[in-house]
Each structure stands twice: as structure tokens, then as C-alpha cells.
Amino acid sequence: MIVNTNLKYELKKLLSITRNFEFLTGVNKKFIHKHFYLYTKAQYSENSQLKTEKRPWNVLFFGTDDFALESLRKLESSYRSKKLISSLEIVCSYKGDENGIIKFSKEHKIKLHSWPVNFSLSNFDIGVVVSFGHLIPPWIINEFPLGMINVHASLLPRWRGAAPIIYSLMNGDAQTGVTIMKIMPKKFDVGDILAQKIVDIHPNETQPELYDKTNDV
């Protein structure tokens, strides 16, 4: 493992990765530049450094419900352009006949995998998790040279875990939001925060209304 302690190098490297969250999540550049936080103690292996410089990237998307669908749409759009994504595949844990993620994968001819993972991850550069509902095992996280990021519908660390929108309403929060974070092993929604955007909660706002607002971020 190579640890680079040069501050300017680390800032430049992390900024390069963070700027590409627009294609990963649909979050616009103005939001990213205003709200992301840089962490300067990153550690890179030789392989990870090479993968960071390499584009387009091979992306594996983990998502299950309709909240994940908007991020998947943005990924698919970037995949079509081939500028930042060279390949895109999906892991979905839904066990029914069909949902929005499965339907989207069929319509756009994106390869779909069921959960748990039982295929090689060696060709992927980064994992993107949005409303997946399962704790990702350490061995999967470690397979991605660029790691994994998670899009979560709250202002972490508040309301980790499932149903953050419902908890925000039940507890009378005046604000919630969307967080982009690095995934760490063995814990739900715990890791370096890369970006956050605040969403105001209006009086008498319903769960579907707040769901739509956070999904549009």
C-alpha cells in the first residue's frame, strides 16, 4: 500500500474524483463545488492510482427501488455518451417479478444481476449504491479500485439506515437533504461525506412530496 502525504497532490486527486459525481448521481456541478468536503488522508495502491487516472470507467450500480432510478437514469445517459462510463451493469435485490429498476434494465438492455453477488468484480472500477437496502460485505467494497459511493436521502449522520424520509417527517425536522458518501465496511451509512445538499421541509408536507423533492436533487 502506498500512502501519499503530499497535501496538494491529495487535494488534486480527490477533487478530480469528486467532480465526476455529476455523472454518478445526477447532482449538478454547482452543488458539488459548493457542498463537497475533501479528505486529505486518502490512501491509494498503485492499481488504484492508475484506475483514478483512467477514464471512461466501468461502473456497477447497486439499487432496488424507485429512489435509485433517477441516479440510474443519469448513469445510463453517461454510458451512452461513452465519455465517462465505458460499461454499466446493475445489481438489484428485488425478489418480485418486476420493479422500476428491472424494467429500466430491460428497456435499455443493461445487464442485470441478482443479489447476493456471485460473479467476478475484477473488471469494475467503482461501485455506486443508491437505496439498496443491504449491507455491502467488505470483500465487495475492496474489489473496486476506486471504492464505492452511496447516495442517501438524509443529511448524514442524521437518520442513517432505512426510511430516512419518514423519520425526518415523524420527528418534525425543518430540513433534510441528500448526502453522497464513501462506503466503509461493516456499517450502514458511515463514511467520509463527499457532498451534501439541504432540502427544506415545509409544514404539512407529505411523505410522497418530500420523496419527490429529495429524488429531484
**Which pLDDT belongs to residue 160?**
92
- The CA distance from 163 to 110, in Å, is 28
Q: Tell me if 104 is assigned to some domain.
A: yes
Reply yes or no on whether the pLDDT at 8 is more than 90: no
Q: pLDDT tens across 91-112, in order?
A: 999 888 889 999 999 999 999 9
Residue written as grid cell 463537497: 36
Q: Tell me if 158 is assigned to some domain.
A: yes
Q: pLDDT tens across 16-60, in order?
A: 544 555 545 455 544 444 443 333 334 344 455 545 556 789 999
Q: Tell me if 2 is assigned to some domain.
A: no
Q: Tell me if 1 is assigned to some domain.
A: no
Q: Tell me if 124 is assigned to some domain.
A: yes
**Residues in contact with 55: Cβ distance below 8 Å, sequence separation at least 6, in sequence order:** 83, 84
Q: Tell me if 125 is assigned to some domain.
A: yes
CATH code at position 182: 3.40.50.170
State how many domains the chain has.
1
**Which pLDDT belongs to residue 133?**
87
Here the cell at position 90 is 446493475
Reply yes or no on whether the pLDDT at 208 is more than 50: yes
Residue written as grid cell 437496502: 133
Q: Tell me if 152 is assigned to some domain.
A: yes
DSSP secondary structure of 37-84: ---S---B-HHHHHHHH--SEEEEEEE-SHHHHHHHHHHHHHHHHTSS
In 3D space, the residue among 94, 129, 125 whose CA is nearest the CA of residue 112 turns out to be: 94
160 with 149: CB under 8 angstroms?
Answer: no
Q: Tell me if 136 is assigned to some domain.
A: yes
**Which pLDDT belongs to residue 49?**
54
Q: pLDDT tens across 110-144, in order?
A: 999 999 999 999 999 999 999 998 999 999 999 99
- The CA distance from 183 to 144, in Å, is 11
Q: Structure pTM?
A: 0.77
Which structural domain, as residue segments, surrounds residue 172? 7-215
Residue 148's DSSP bridge partners are 127
Q: pLDDT tens across 145-175, in order?
A: 999 999 999 999 999 988 999 999 999 999 9
